[in-house]
Amino acid sequence: MKKGLWKKGLALGLSVVITLGLAACGGKEDNSQLAKENVYTFEDMGLIDENENINDLICLDDKLYLLVNNYTYDDEGNETHVFGFYKANMDGSDKSFVELALPEREENYSWINNTMLSPDGYIYVVENSSFED
């Protein structure tokens, strides 16, 4: 008898909680102005070419910095690797490229995982490497 009463009380309590939860969500606000202000569109700025991979995109002091790797191969399959960043205005204009030195590595594969550009002009880079035996 007590078990049945316990179940009925629990069911009644849960139904009250659900009803109050639904009633609390019943208010309707006009978000149409907010929706109009937060519309994002895609804009291709054409900052990189087809051989470049973007490592990171940083926005600092109203400038865009795209850190990229450029891999090109000659007819014999030899790789040329250039690492650097593009600096441009927020609209993509006034683009310039700065090549960064890569460390010399033998018989391993390394890739840049993350980068950070400080207001002082320093570039911090996280490099991952894998070695083959």
Q: Look up residue 78 and give its two tokens.
A: 């030899």
CB atoms within 10 A of CB 63: 13
**Mean pLDDT of all residues belonging to the chain:** 76
Element (H, E) at 129: strand 123-131
Asked if 112 and 127 count as a contact pair (C-beta separation under 8 A), the reply is: yes
* pLDDT one-digit tens code per residue, 81-105: 788 888 888 888 888 888 887 767 6
Largest CA distance in the chain: 87
Asked if 130 and 109 count as a contact pair (C-beta separation under 8 A), the reply is: yes
Report how far apart, in Å, the C-alpha atoms of 82 and of each of 42, 48, 70, 95 are. Answer: 28, 13, 5, 17
Give the residue among 74, 75, 81, 56 at the shortest CA–CA distance from 66. Answer: 56
pLDDT at 133: 60
- Residue 26's pLDDT band, with cuts at 50, 70 and 90, is low
Q: What is the pTM of this model?
A: 0.54
